[in-house]
Amino acid sequence: MSELQPAPRPETVGTAESDETTLVDVLDRVIDRGVVISGDVILGVAGVDLIYLGVRLVLHGIDPPELP
Amino acid sequence: MLLIYGFVAPPLPVDDLTGVDGAPVEVVGSAPVAAVVSRHVEVPPTTEEHALAHARVVAALGERAPSLPGRYGIVLPDEPAVAAVLANATESLQTALARVGTAVEFAVRGRERVAVPPSPPRDGSGRAYLEARLAGERAREVAIAERHAAIAAASEPLRAFATEELWVEGPLGPEHCLLIRRDDVAAFRSAAASLDDDPVVRVTGPWPPYTFASVTLPHVESA
The complex scores an ipTM of 0.85
Residues 6+ apart with CB under 8 A from A46: none
B17 has a pLDDT exceeding 80: yes
- Give the residue with greater pLDDT, B118 vs A55: B118
| Mean pLDDT of all residues in A20-39 | 80
Q: Is B107 on the interface with A (CB under 8 A)?
A: yes
Are A34 and B48 in contact (CB < 8 Å)?
no
- pLDDT at position A1 is 37
What pLDDT is attached to residue A22?
A: 77
- Calculate the average pLDDT of chain A: 54
pTM here?
A: 0.82
- Looking at chain A from residue 9 to 68, which residues have their Cβ under 8 Å from any Cβ of chain B? 10, 12-15, 17, 21-45, 47-48, 50-51, 54-56, 59-63, 66
User: Over 90: is that where the pLDDT of B58 sits?
Assistant: yes
Residues of A in contact with B217 (CB under 8 A): 35-38
Which of the pair, B67 or A20, is modelled with greater confidence?
B67
The full 3-state SS of B2-43, as one line of letters, equals EEEEEEECCCCCCCCCECHHHCEEEEECCCCCEEEEEECCCC
* Candidate from A58-62, B131-135, B173-177 with smallest mean pLDDT: A58-62
Q: HSE of B214 in the Cβ direction (CA atoms, 13 Å)?
A: 14
pLDDT at A54 exceeding the cut of 50 = no
| pLDDT tens per residue, range B22-55 | 999 999 999 899 999 999 998 887 788 888 899 9
